Amino acid sequence: MIRVTAMTHRFVGGRAALDGVSFTVAAGESVAVVGPNGAGKTTLFLRLCGVLPGVRGEATVANLDPADREHRRKLAATVGVVFQNPDDQLFSPTVLDDVAFGPLNLGLSDIEARDRATEALNAVGLPDHAARVPHQLSGGEKRRAAIATILSMRPGVLLLDEPSMFLDPRGRRELIYLVRDLPGTKLIATHDLGLVLETCPRVLLLDGGKLVADGPTEQVLGNEMLMETHGLEVPYRLRNG
């Protein structure tokens, strides 16, 4: 479903945010992308969804190349991105309007778009929030609403960037349950290694724009030397003793 081949991305000034990254993700997999700040996680996501320009042939998502202009136009119906700050995705007068916005832009009728929006709000546990004003929602509710804006478009691939950021313990726990149940192929960039243990059987470890590890979650996150070398800590659950 996702194929990345020697992806490299340099910012103005020449610094490499991504440096020869290669991996594949099969349909239906849930894969975490972890690493210290500046590792290249968000840049990877922005390349995969076509927000940042790239070189043709370095990536395909559901057989679409984000660097190809014609393919990029089709990505919105195939790839859903949930950004770090849910306020970036909530801008309409009501939650229902926000969640229906994507389907309307895909060309669906008003009735079809609202039906999809209602279905998505039910899926994220916000069936009674359709008429709410988005900025009045709690942090956890905003995160759920942002996910609903993507689910209403029924993408085959979900990219979630720091989904548990700013959530309190209850909101984080509810999010974990939600992420487990989300359909499709999931790539989750996060510093929350506890969330990774509960939602992703496989981990990609980035550092300095390079992919330094790719393997089973407990094997990668439980490797103390590997984690310390790349600015991370072994999650408490995996520590000996």
Higher per-residue confidence, 143 vs 226: 226
Q: Is the pLDDT of residue 219 over 60?
A: yes
Residue 55's nearest CA partner among 93, 12, 94, 9 is 9
Q: Is the pLDDT of residue 13 over 80?
A: no
pLDDT tens digits, 166-217: 788 888 888 898 889 888 999 999 999 999 999 999 999 999 999 999 999 9
Q: Is the pLDDT of residue 232 over 70?
A: yes
* Average pLDDT across the chain, whole number: 92
Model pLDDT, residue 183: 86
CATH of 1-78+158-164+185-241, one of 3.20.130.10, 3.60.21.10, 3.30.365.10, 3.40.50.300: 3.40.50.300
Going from N- to C-terminal start, the domains of the chain cover 1-78+158-164+185-241, 81-154
Model pLDDT, residue 171: 82
**Mean pLDDT in residue range 61-82:** 91
Q: Is the pLDDT of residue 241 over 70?
A: no
Model pLDDT, residue 25: 97
Model pLDDT, residue 170: 84
pLDDT tens digits, 17-47: 999 999 999 999 999 999 999 899 999 999 9
Whole-prediction pTM: 0.90
